[in-house]
Structure 1
């Protein structure tokens, strides 16, 4: 596995998209600071990073796997790899830990940009109702984002193997990210008799970031915090298994 990780890390760092994506995150967070005067919301959302991180990882993840097919390197991988699953898993691990790195970058930038754009107007230990301090909520939001990124990475890998067009995968993933939770809520409200089953639909897992810091979202997801976390891990595992099966069988 270590050898597979080294190989995939070498491929990953040779790409320009991860670097450009990191710079884009920095610029987008600065842009959020310049265009919003609500210091509390800026800090809670890590200057918009919570919104932008999944989008960035969708683009980077699907492009990383799609690269193997665009440049036909998957042929060598297919026939020279002693364990194809380890190679596929290594790709997922590399992209996910890139996401972890972006979350840490977002946390650092939030601290720095707070001093530039918010100053002492809002303090880290200011309390918000019964949700805790701004610092606590911000950290939990970023933790929820880490969970959500696991869901996103495995899903984007699976989708690129189904759709086979990178731009389409990004579009589908963005649609799921922005409208999935609303669609899930509509389904649950429409088919109330099936709420017990429908609450476990994959679109409902998108709410994990918001729900961990706002208990009101339990009324929308109909899942407790432990249940929605289990759901995220469960679907990530399912997407991993399905993605690998597609990867193994896709013609090269």
Structure 2
């Protein structure tokens, strides 16, 4: 397992896309900030779109992390040298999770930089209070993104093992990310009698991104903060177990 981890970390560090992604994240955050005539507190608390941009980046990287090796036939050598396939799968998963944390930290730092440059703030006791509240909201939003990233990364790893196509995984991931919450809300409105049951569907789990800092989201998610956290973690375990089973039987 240690050998697998060292190999995967080495590949992630030396991949050009890993470094380019950080630059792309900063550019996308600037894109979210500069076109607006007035930067709102909500935009700052969301880290200038850090959540959505990191999710898109990680869906793409997760899909390509295995797809490239399958395409280049390097997966055969990797599995031959490893004593078990599940160790390879878990090692890749751990590296992706660590990298997603790095992106979130980078997003947090970039948020502070962009805010300092583009938002003028005056030193008053009232401003200090608002800054503290804004800071807490930002951290809660990033925490929610971090939890959901566990969900989307394990799902992406499962899907790429099933379909072996990064394009399919990216399309499904983006569909869930951009339309999942709306579709989930529509289904719950259509069947209000079993809303409490439908609320546990995987499409609804993305609400964790904003609900931790905005209690009004509970009206659409129909789940409490703790329930959303538990729901995401349950799906992570399910996707992980199924992903390992599929990966162990993957044909090269």
Instruction: Between 42-51 and 103-112, report the one with greater CA deviation.
Output: 42-51
Task: Report what 1:58 is aligned to.
Answer: 59
For the Cα contact (< 8 Å) 1:185–1:220, is it kept in 2? yes
More displaced stretch, 173-182 vs 185-194: 185-194
Judge conservation of contact 2:79–2:88 (CA < 8 Å) in 1.
no
Question: For 1:1-252, what aligned pairs fall within 5 Å after superposition?
Answer: 1-36=1-36, 37-120=38-121, 123=127, 125-126=129-130, 133-252=133-252
Q: 2 CA distance for matches of 1:235 and 1:125?
A: 37
Q: Distance in 1 between matches of 2:66 and 2:110?
A: 29
Q: Structure 2-normalised TM-score? A: 0.93
Q: Secondary structure in 2 aligned to 1:119?
A: coil
SS of corresponding position for 2:147: helix
The whole-number CA distance in structure 2 between the counterparts of 1:77 and 1:26 is 33
Deviation at 1:3, TM superposition (A): 1.8
Cα distance in structure 1, aligned partners of 2:127 and 2:62: 36
Q: Distance in 1 between matches of 2:209 and 2:184?
A: 15
Distance verdict in 2 for CA 1:217–1:83, change over 3 Å: same
Is contact 1:47-1:110 (8 Å) kept?
yes
Matched residue of 2:47: which SS?
coil
- The superposition leaves residues 144-198 of structure 1 with CA deviations (integer Å, 9 ceiling, x where unpaired) of 1110111111011111122222122111110110000111111111122222321
CA RMSD of aligned residues (A): 1.7
Answer whether contact 2:86 2:247 (CA < 8 A) is retained.
no
The structure, 1 or 2, with the larger RCO (C-alpha pairs under 8 Å, 6+ apart) is 2
Query: 133-142 vs 116-125, which deviates more?
Result: 116-125
The number of aligned residues is 248
Output one character per residue of 1:94-116: Cα deviation in whole Å (capped at 9) or x when no partner: 01110100100011111111111
Alpha-carbon distance in 2 for matches of 1:40, 1:155: 32
